[in-house]
Amino acid sequence: MDFKTVLQKVVENVDGAIGAAVIGEDGIAIDQFTTKADFDITAAGAEYSTIISSAKKASKSFGLGKTNEVLISTEKATMIMMMMEKNLFVTLALNLDGNLGRGRLELKKAIPELEKLI
Amino acid sequence: MADVMSEIEELKKKLSQNPDSLIFVPLADAYRRAGMLDEAIEVCKKGLEKHQNYTSARVVLGRIYSEKNMLDDAISEFKKVEAVDVDNIMVHSMLGNIYLKKKRYAEAIEQFQRVLSLNPEDLETQEKLKEALAAKQEPAKPESQPVEKPKVEEKSNQDPNEELQKSLKVAEIYTKKEEFDKAIEIYNEILSKDPENISVQQKLREVYNFQEKKLEKIKQKTSQVSKNENDKITTEDILVVMKDAVKETEKEVNKESEKIEKTESGVLFDSQKAKAIENILKDLTNTDGMVGGIFLQRDGKIVASVLPPDIDSSEIGKDIAQIVDKTEKSVLNMKQGKLNHAIIASESGQLLFTEISNGVLFMIGNEKINMGKMSYVLKDVVAKIKALFK
């Protein structure tokens, strides 16, 4: 089992999922799986990591402690980011009509598997 | 190694199919991981010629320079990113490491402190900060470069605030004239001296947006002409298309400028509206699981807030406005359209933020409320606030 296989399983189990990736907080993606050729998460790794660092800062400003998860809703997609061990996070991108609840569940299930591979 | 090589081949193929895409960034990074640093630099530089403002590419290029021990070049790239993205944790970390290597301890300490202000739990950076602090105490002379006087000091006769206002006016003129590169250059220069200046960050972001819109319009119209004329595009066609795009963008620039002026002068958020928003926020806290809310202008000025007693609203306005700016900018860079809203789930509660009527709303929930309910409550609050501006 490798990162890509776990990510592929997540994407295939969620209606409307476009892609998933494991990214370091330094913005460099470790691995990804996408269903759309023009949707490249690795190319935007630094942007995902900026969002995570902004979220951490916001949690700190409001005294809410450690950040566990970030959800971004945009005009074209929804992105879920969940924190993992060792300054890594896993992200799943969905179409606007994607199954968000299922996406979060599958990501939560995948995290222990991904952490075993680190 | 074989994996990286096959990844390189795949990315090269994708890039050749779409040379204007952003795929050059992962390709350069794959070259870096394969140890092919010269190729990595070449790919990155070539890509940056087309996408000058793509900060992710500059981060990767800085990283490659750093691995190649071209430390000054690396600093230069990271500084360019830092000027527009002040909270980029990786850039601060990289800069800290480079300064440490160059024995420029004061600068290293500053960078590591910035990393820790963003992520206090980073043990590795804590260790590095200790190392830099200890090294700074030692009497040994650093091999650092001679200390340069800041440019501002050279112009000591000029009032810095007056100088800033002049620069801002010039940048605005360039924006209106659609000479976006010149405006970006001015804003970047201001931000290199004052990276925390939210208003300038916002203006810079707007110029990037205008520039992007203009390019998209030119692209769209060029492809329309191409279809209509059976792919025969004359110079005249392109000129007509460009003139149209310029006119349309000009209209948008003026419209946006008007909006900003209104917001800055406070017209949109007078005391009556502020009171009404405060009442909406008070109602919000009656919802089970919601503990507070804050509504602020894009420059960080707080319009109304209902917060738990342990949060000092006067301290956080600027910070959270910056957080919103950075998140929006990242979403735009990801080419996923405009940000609708963001939800942050943390240990002791949840945060939701969104833009409404030229302001930003933050809603705070406790650890019991879930994301679904937050989104549901948001709809109600947004509708109420929007109604105030009708």
| pLDDT, tens digit, 9 for 90 and up, residues B370-381 | 878 888 888 888
Looking at per-residue pLDDT, the higher value among A14 and B241 belongs to A14
Q: Hey, which residues 14-43 in chain A have their CB within 8 Å of chain B?
A: 25-29, 37-38, 40, 42-43
CA atoms within 13 A on the CB side of B26: 27
Q: Hey, which residues 141-200 in chain B have their CB within 8 Å of chain A?
A: none
Amino acid at B170: V
Q: Has residue B247 got a pLDDT over 80?
A: no
Inter-chain CB proximity B347 and A65 less than 8 Å: yes
Inter-chain CB proximity B339 and A60 less than 8 Å: no
Long-range pairs for B372-378: beta carbons < 8 A, 24 or more residues apart: B372/A101, B373/B289, B374/B343, B374/B350, B375/B341, B375/B343, B377/B284, B377/B287, B377/B290, B378/B341, B378/B352, B378/B354
> Is A69 in the B-facing interface, judged by CB distances under 8 Å?
yes
> Is A47 in the B-facing interface, judged by CB distances under 8 Å?
yes
Inter-chain CB proximity B59 and A58 less than 8 Å: no
Nearest to B63 by CA among B49, B74, B73: B74
Q: Distance (Å, rounded) from C-alpha B67 to C-alpha B111?
A: 19
Point out the residue among A46, A49, A75 whose CB comes nearest to the CB of B338: A75
- Chain Cα centroid distance, residue B250: 23
- Tens-place pLDDT, residues B177-211: 777 777 887 887 777 677 667 677 777 777 877 77
Q: Distance (Å, rounded) from C-alpha B70 to C-alpha B107?
A: 18
Inter-chain CB proximity A55 and B344 less than 8 Å: yes
C-beta separation of B9 from B22 below 8 A? no
Long-range pairs for B208-211: beta carbons < 8 A, 24 or more residues apart: B208/B53, B208/B180, B208/B184, B208/B329, B208/B332, B209/B332, B210/B175, B210/B178, B210/B180, B210/B249, B210/B252, B210/B253, B210/B256, B211/B53, B211/B180, B211/B184
DSSP tag of A72: E
Q: Distance (Å, rounded) from C-alpha B209 to C-alpha B183?
A: 13
Q: Distance (Å, rounded) from C-alpha B9 to C-alpha B62?
A: 23
- φ, ψ at B314 (rounded to 5°): -65, -20
- pLDDT at residue number B359: 87
Q: How many CB pairs under 8 A join A and B?
A: 160
By C-alpha distance, the chain B residue nearest A81 is B344
Torsion of CA B249, B250, B256, B262, to 10 degrees: -170
Q: Hey, which residues 72-111 in chain A have their CB within 8 Å of chain B?
A: 72-77, 79, 87, 101, 104
Inter-chain CB proximity B345 and A28 less than 8 Å: no
Tokens linked to A107: 């990501």
Domains in chain A, start-ordered, CATH in brackets? 3-117 (3.30.450.30)
Lowest average pLDDT, out of B281-290, B307-316, B375-384, goes to B307-316
Token look-up 């112009």 returns B155
Q: What is the largest CA-CA distance in chain A?
A: 40
Q: Distance (Å, rounded) from C-alpha B110 to C-alpha B108?
A: 5
Amino acid at B255: K
CA atoms within 13 A on the CB side of A44: 23
> Which residue of A31, A52, A73 to mutate against B (max B Cβ within 10 Å)?
A73
By C-alpha distance, the chain B residue nearest A29 is B26
Q: Has residue B260 got a pLDDT over 50?
A: no
- pLDDT at residue number B57: 82
Q: Has residue B83 got a pLDDT over 60?
A: yes
Amino acid at B31: Y
- Tens-place pLDDT, residues A26-59: 888 888 898 887 777 877 888 888 899 899 988 9
- pLDDT at residue number B211: 77
- φ, ψ at B191 (rounded to 5°): -70, -25
- pLDDT at residue number B148: 43
Q: Distance (Å, rounded) from C-alpha B64 to C-alpha B32?
A: 6
- Tens-place pLDDT, residues B46-60: 988 888 877 778 888
Inter-chain CB proximity B345 and A71 less than 8 Å: yes
- Tens-place pLDDT, residues B323-382: 898 899 888 888 888 899 999 999 989 999 998 877 899 999 988 888 788 888 888 888
Inter-chain CB proximity A46 and B90 less than 8 Å: yes
Q: Distance (Å, rounded) from C-alpha B270 to C-alpha B360?
A: 15
- pLDDT at residue number A95: 93
C-beta atoms surrounding B32 within 10 Å: 24
- Chain Cα centroid distance, residue B77: 16
- pLDDT at residue number B228: 53
Q: Distance (Å, rounded) from C-alpha B302 to C-alpha B296?
A: 4
CA atoms within 13 A on the CB side of B58: 22
By C-alpha distance, the chain A residue nearest B292 is A62
DSSP A11-70: HHHSTTEEEEEEEETTS-EEEEEESSTT--TGGGHHHHHHHHHHHHHHHHHTT--SEEEE
pLDDT profile of chain A (118 residues), mean per 10: 90 94 86 81 83 90 91 93 92 93 94 91
Point out the residue among B316, B327, B336 whose CB comes nearest to the CB of A76: B336
DSSP B178-195: T-HHHHHHHHHHHHHH-T
CA-based end-to-end distance of chain B: 61
Q: Has residue B143 got a pLDDT over 50?
A: no
Inter-chain CB proximity A70 and B119 less than 8 Å: no
